[in-house]
Amino acid sequence: MTLMTRVATGATAALLGLAVALSSATVPAAAADAATLTGIVLGVGADQAQRTVTWYSSADTAQKVQVVPTEQVVNGEFPANPATFDAVGGANVSGGKFNRHATITNLRESTAYSYRVGADDNWSPVYTFKTQSFEGDYDFLFFGDPQIGSSGDVSKDQAGWVDTVNVATAANPDAELLVSGGDQVETAGTETQWDAFLAPDGLRQYPWVATIGNHDVGSKAYEQHFTVPNTDRSGPLYGNGNPSSNTSGGNYWFIYKDVLFIDINSNSYATSQGGGGDAAHVKYVTDVINQHGNEAKWKVLVFHHAIYSPAAHAQDGDAKLRRVDFPTAFSSLGVDLVLQGHDHSYSRSYLIKNSEKANPDEQPGAADVTAGPGGVLYITSNSASGSKYYDISAPKTDQPSSGAGNGPDPLKPSTYWYNSVQNQEHVRTYVKVGVRKDKLVVENLRSGTCAAPNAAVEKGESCDNDPAAKPVGSTVDKVTVHPYNGEGQALSVDVPNAAPGEFGWTIDGYNGLVDLGTAEEKNGDHFEAAGSINPIVVSDNRRSQAPWSISASVSDFSDGAKTFAGSYLGWTPKVVEAGSGAKAGNPVVSGFDDNGQGLAKSRGLGSADQGHPKGVAKLGADLTLKIPGDVETGGYRATLTITALSS
């Protein structure tokens, strides 16, 4: 393994291959038919040091993700010791394929990575992503309703969607997340639409934060295409209350740097349909914030069905219901920002508290707002693909300008009471959110004009946009949200990383296979083989001088269906190059000698005590393998899992 890992607490692990033959020649197993790998998408993990990868396979075979720092890829070839993460998954509910997903962990900050999925001799193309600093300011991008297929022309919808992702990521190359407003496709079970949605290369380069929309809920395809962290797929969080049905659902959360994201399935809102309804979501959000709210500076909710929007869905019964069910809870829980889709038009709400305008004097289109206690900003995103737009609707003069009502804004009677800004030009847009230590900056940006690709306009929709005055990349709306800091003064200080101050380790060299050669018969009752592991380089220059240890354990050796126990492997650790206070672990005899567990149980390779000097050490071990004489002839391999621990 050539991936240097920074460790604060806990453990990191890598794998090292071992091989031994019981005869001078072995016959390789026949390769299985190569699987076709499609639908690869990078997803968000539980924190900034994780990513998920999900894909479809034409064959039900064991597969994995391999990841290396891009600088280690030479002429398109991975080194011999990539970090490897086994995939899990199953048969698709429909479509005749199989879904696979894996979680990449222990990523380093500010590092470019290359990855591929599949299996030996059958890899996908290589894709790349980059981590940024794990602390401080960052931007993420929010996309509303690609809804591929809703124009009636999948290829036109795809073209607009690809262009928006390309425009947005080119303008914001260091954006760290792509966040979904839901409705990835028009018809949940139609894989040609999913293929078109997954066409942008950006979905393999930036983590996609999936959100389920009403057009995504009608099959298991949404759950099969996306892997999300900390997922709760219990019955109340499904619209029909039945996670085992051919529908998708569930809620999830994660923390990315200073933001706690909570993503809910707003398709479940009426208990009459069988799910837990809005009450279940309020409980979920409450529980997550109570447990994790203090771990982040900002709280951002994401769900599909907008409750404060300007167009066709603004007066829907479910929107009115949610305008009663959600806002008071969100205000009391300290939510800062709510991102929504569904209404295929853009709006920015006033700061809302307890289902009312928090500050009656807040002016329409204000560029700077201060949340005050309980003020929440709600954003509705327009179409990111151009597949469908909804025109802004008029407020109801006979309805109240608060609560569930759709009454007019006293300050601007042509708009709804709750919206500071409303916009619909029939051009594609996306939302950029800047997360800063003392504010959120929310900006709606044009990713297209009236010109193609713009499916709804190409198919006859009118368009209200002058490309000279409002070109691609221009701003529709921008607001800076300042948090409420109580009655006193808020103090802030940034503590930088100590320089230097890291603990890390690598496997020395690229050859990850330790070949023990051909075992020799001994005393008529067993075989013996020997060798040495590739040395482990340990570097520790932390000021804390915290203790560390390196240990390892071995899997069973196998050759197809033939196996023998890993307990027959023993070792004698040694310090190859002294430094960092390193001392060798205790020798471990082969289980053949003492009926023990050998290296089948995790054993110490080396360690250093608290207060050890800074420096670099190199650890090694001589291996001894004793195999019972009744083991069948073959070429056997095993995996030595090496784990680093530090406090």
Q: How many domains does the chain have?
A: 3
Lowest mean pLDDT among 194-208, 316-330, 483-497: 483-497
Question: Both 103 and 176 in a single domain?
Answer: no
Pair (141, 215) in one structural domain: yes
> Taking residues 306-316, what's their average pLDDT?
97
**Residue 123 φ then ψ, to 5°:** -105, 150
CATH of the domain at 550: 2.60.40
Determine, yes or no, domain membership for 339.
Answer: yes
382 and 469 within one domain: yes
Contact predicate 561/633, CB 8 Å: no
Residue at 590 is within a domain: yes
| In a shared domain, residues 558 and 422 | no
Examine residue 3 and state whether it is found in any structural domain, yes or no.
no
Domain boundary among 108, 135, 162: 135
pLDDT band per the 50, 70, 90 thresholds, residue 12: low
Judge if 529 and 606 occupy the same domain: yes
Domain co-membership, 478 together with 596: no
Residue 17 belongs to a domain: no
**pLDDT band (50, 70, 90) for residue 94:** confident
> pLDDT tens digits, residue range 488-515?
555 555 656 545 568 888 877 544 578 8
Q: Do residues 450 and 520 both lie within one domain?
A: no
For position 296, which CATH number holds? Answer: 3.60.21.10
pLDDT of residue 76: 87
pLDDT grade for 217, boundaries at 50, 70 and 90: very high
Res 30 pLDDT > 50: no
Tens of pLDDT, residue by residue over 283-304, are 999 999 999 999 999 999 999 9
Residue 591 and residue 596: Cα distance in Å, rounded? 4
Instruction: Give a yes or no: residue 592 inside a domain.
Output: yes
- 26, pLDDT greater than 50: no
The pLDDT tens digits of the residues spanning 412-446 come to 999 999 999 999 999 999 999 999 989 999 999 99
User: Which pLDDT does position 515 carry in this prediction?
Assistant: 83
At 7, is the secondary structure helix, strand, or coil? coil
Mean pLDDT of 241-249: 96
Distances 501 to 244, 411, 541 between C-alpha atoms, Å:
49, 56, 5
Q: Is there a single domain that holds both residue 113 and residue 155?
A: no
- Report yes or no on 209 lying in a domain: yes
Residue 1 confidence (pLDDT) above 50: no
277: in domain:
yes
- Quote the CA–CA distance of 422 and 444 in Å, as a whole number: 11
In total, the chain counts a number of residues equal to 647
Separation between Cα atoms, residue 432 and residue 173, nearest integer Å:
12
Between 139 and 560, the more confident residue is 139
Q: With contact defined as beta carbons under 8 Å apart, do 492 and 136 qualify? A: no
Q: What is the band of 560 on the pLDDT scale with cuts at 50, 70, 90?
A: confident
Query: Residue 561 has what pLDDT?
Result: 87
116 pLDDT higher than 90:
yes
Mean pLDDT of 334-352: 98
Q: What CA–CA distances, in Å, run from 61 to 36, 64, 87, 415, 555?
A: 11, 10, 10, 56, 20
C-alpha–C-alpha distance, residues 543 and 524, integer Å: 55
pLDDT higher than threshold 90 for residue 571: yes
Last residue of a domain, one of 135, 152, 181: 135
The whole-number pLDDT of residue 24 equals 35
- For the chain, give the mean pLDDT: 91
pLDDT band at 9 (very low <50, low <70, confident <90, very high): very low
The answer for 100, left when phi > 0, alpha when psi is -120 to 50, beta otherwise, is: beta
Same domain as 210, residue 123: no
% pLDDT > 90, the chain = 81
The model's confidence at residue 21, banded by pLDDT at 50, 70 and 90, is confident
Among 91, 115, 135, identify where a domain stops: 135
Question: Do residue 340 and residue 478 come from a single domain?
Answer: yes
Q: Give burial (CB, 10 Å; 0-12/13-18/19+) of 384.
A: buried
- Identify the pLDDT of residue 509: 59
Q: Is residue 20 part of a domain?
A: no
Element (H, E) at 621: strand 615-628
**Is the pLDDT reported for residue 19 higher than 90?**
no
| Residue 134 scores a pLDDT above 80 | yes
Please give the DSSP secondary-structure letter assigned to residue 347.
E
**In which band, very low, low, confident or very high, does the pLDDT at 27 lie, cut at 50, 70 and 90?**
very low
Beta strand 536-540 with 615-628 is antiparallel
Instruction: Say whether pLDDT at 71 is over 50.
Output: yes
Q: 634: domain range?
A: 503-646
Beta pairing partners, 347: 380, 422
Per-residue pLDDT tens over the stretch 604-644 = 999 999 889 999 999 999 999 999 999 999 888 888 888 88
Indicate if the pLDDT at residue 487 is higher than 70: no
**Does residue 322 sit in the same domain as residue 424?**
yes
Shared-domain flag, residues 397 and 332: yes
